[in-house]
C-alpha cells in the first residue's frame, strides 16, 4: 500500500508545478507560500481532530528539529519554488527539481557517513550531466548564457528538500508522520506570515484559478503529499522513498504540456532523461 501512496504523491507533486506556475503569476513568493500553508494547516488540523491524535510534548531538541523542518521544507523550499516558477516554464523547472533524490543521497552520505556504491556515484554523475544539459538547453558552449536566476532558484529546491528529508529521518521514529507534518506546517505558516506582509500581501482581485491552485497546493500537495512522503521515510527509509521523486518531473512535464500547452524542446527532454536515468541507476543497481 505504501508504494501506491508514493506513486500518487509523485503524480500530485507533478501537478504542483502547474498550480504554482498559475499562482506565481499573481502572487509574490512568500505571499503564495503563506496562503498555500494556510490551506494546508487548516486541512492538517482537521485531520488531527478527526483521527484524535495527541499533541506530543516536545523538548528543546524536538522544537529545534521541527523548526528546522519548517525553515527548510516550507519557508525556504517554497520561496525557491514560487520564485523559480514565476520565471521558468513549469516543464523546465520540473526537470531541474528532479535532482531531489540525488541531493538526498549525497547529503545522507555526507551527514550520516553512509558509504556510496559505484552505481550511486555513476548515477549522481549522470543526473548532474542531465541537469547541465537542461540548463544549457543543449548548447554546452553557452552553458552560462542560459544559467539565470530562474535556474539558480530552481536548484535551491532540491538543496532545501534534502535538508527537510534528513531532518524528517531524525524524527520519523519518535512520532507519527501526521503529527510531524502538522507541527512543521504550523510553524512554517507562522514564519511565512511576517515575510508575506513585508511583501505587501493582498487578496484583492485574485482570480478563481489562483484560489483553486492554492487549495490544491495546500490540501493535495501538502496534506496528502507530505504525510504520505513521511510515511514512506518511516517505512522504507530515505533512499528508497526518494526514488519515487524520480516520477515527479515526468508527471510535471506531461501535465505542463497537457494543461499549460507548453512546448518542450528535445534537448530539455534528453537532459531530463539523463536525470531520471541517473536516479534509476542509483536506486536499482
pLDDT tens digits, one per residue of 226-282: 788 878 877 877 767 766 776 777 777 778 878 877 776 777 677 777 777 776 776
Containing domain of residue 235, as a range?
A: 2-284
Q: Please tell me the total count of domains within the chain.
A: 1
* pLDDT tens, position by position, 162-221: 888 888 888 866 678 888 889 999 999 999 999 999 988 888 888 999 999 999 999 999
Hey, how many other C-beta atoms are within 10 angstroms of the C-beta on 24?
22
* pLDDT tens, position by position, 6-16: 889 888 988 98
Buried b vs exposed e over 221-234: b needs ≥16 C-beta within 10 Å?
bbbbbbbbbbbbbb
pLDDT > 90: what percent of the chain? 26
d(CA 42, CA 257) in angstroms, rounded, equals: 32
Query: In the predicted model, what is the mean pLDDT of the chain?
Result: 82
- Answer yes or no: are the C-beta atoms of 210 and 23 closer than 8 Å: yes
Amino acid at each position: 500500500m505504501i508504494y501506491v501512496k508514493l506513486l500518487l504523491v509523485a503524480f500530485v507533486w507533478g501537478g504542483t508545478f502547474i498550480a504554482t506556475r498559475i499562482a506565481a503569476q499573481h502572487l509574490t513568493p512568500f505571499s503564495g507560500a503563506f496562503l498555500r500553508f494556510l490551506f494546508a494547516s487548516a486541512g492538517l488540523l482537521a485531520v488531527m481532530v478527526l483521527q484524535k491524535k495527541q499533541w506530543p510534548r516536545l523538548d528543546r531538541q524536538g522544537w529545534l528539529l521541527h523548526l528546522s523542518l519548517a525553515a527548510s521544507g516550507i519557508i525556504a523550499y517554497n520561496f525557491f519554488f514560487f520564485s523559480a516558477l514565476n520565471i521558468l516554464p513549469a516543464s523546465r523547472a520540473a526537470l531541474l527539481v528532479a535532482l531531489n533524490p540525488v541531493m538526498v543521497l549525497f547529503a545522507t552520505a555526507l551527514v550520516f557517513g553512509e558509504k556510496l556504491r559505484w552505481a550511486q556515484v555513476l548515477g549522481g554523475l549522470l543526473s548532474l550531466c542531465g541537469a547541465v544539459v537542461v540548463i544549457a538547453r543543449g548548447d554546452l558552449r553557452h552553458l552560462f548564457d542560459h544559467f539565470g536566476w530562474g535556474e539558480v532558484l530552481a536548484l535551491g529546491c532540491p538543496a532545501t528538500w534534502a535538508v527537510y528529508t534528513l531532518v524528517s529521518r531524525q524524527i520519523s521514529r519518535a512520532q507519527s508522520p501526521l503529527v510531524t507534518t502538522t507541527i512543521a506546517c504550523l510553524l512554517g505558516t507562522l514564519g511565512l506570515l511576517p515575510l508575506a506582509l513585508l511583501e505587501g500581501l493582498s487578496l484583492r482581485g485574485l482570480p478563481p484559478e489562483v484560489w483553486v491552485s492554492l487549495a490544491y497546493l495546500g490540501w493535495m500537495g501538502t496534506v496528502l503529499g507530505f504525510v504520505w512522503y513521511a510515511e514512506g521515510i518511516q517505512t522504507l527509509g530515505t533512499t528508497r522513498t526518494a526514488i519515487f521523486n524520480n516520477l515527479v518531473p515526468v508527471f510535471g512535464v506531461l501535465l505542463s504540456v497537457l494543461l499549460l500547452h507548453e512546448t518542450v524542446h528535445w534537448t530539455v527532454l534528453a537532459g531530463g532523461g539523463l536525470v531520471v536515468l541517473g536516479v534509476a541507476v542509483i536506486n536499482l543497481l
